[in-house]
Structure 1
Amino acid sequence: MEYMILIHEGETAETPQPGSPGFETYMADWMAYNQKLIDGGNFIGAGRLQPSLTATTLKRSSGADQLIDGPFAETKEQLGGYYLVTAADLDEALSLAAAMPIDDVTLEVRPIAFRPEAL
């Protein structure tokens, strides 16, 4: 079964940017985590999102579209990234999420209902 692991985090945390001091050290744990998923046959895809201030939300109501600058919900934590994994069951998906090298975060694990390219 496929699961989406949604990474909700505060945007005030400073993460090293490519080329900055500490970036390679910061990324080493993430690359090891990615390799663990790949080696275990769990990795499908992943991505880190730009900050929520770069978001544009399209809201549709009664056939009318409205564009809104910013994310859908104004909350303390924002969707910062995701992993799409394959796991035998929810327990394995939760174990994969728990192994993620990140602190002060909320990880939402949700089964994928349908993904056309997986057929």
Structure 2
Amino acid sequence: MVTAITEGIEVSVEVTYQAEFSSPLQHHYVFTYKVTIHNRSDITVQLLRRRWEISDAAETRKIVEGDGVVGQQPTLEPGQSHSYVSGCNLRSGLGKMKGWYTMQKVYNEKEFEVVVPEFQMIANIFHN
């Protein structure tokens, strides 16, 4: 698990290789990742947008941007958390992701960026 804190907003990511949905011979590797966002600040915030930078050892690089996360724009009061699971397909068994969330402070509508720490995606192709 990797974790980063920006302006009191903690983002933690756990990655799982999905061998049963992957096909290494066809250069298709599937990963899921669970993100937990914890508001450790003393203000209420809302997640508005996301931006991901995804790259792999096959030299594939892509940018993914959009509103919210998995169709939601959660509002977090101080002390609250929000978790979600999403996935990523790579052409190689080794990759990484990083990015940020654009958050808004509810009381003054000021936007700020929260770092999503870089995390590695490594296929365990020698599983039992």
Query: TM-score, normalized by length of structure 1?
Result: 0.32
Q: Which has the higher helix share?
A: 1
Q: Which has the higher contact order (CA 8 A, sep 6+)?
A: 1
Query: TM-score, normalized by length of structure 2?
Result: 0.31
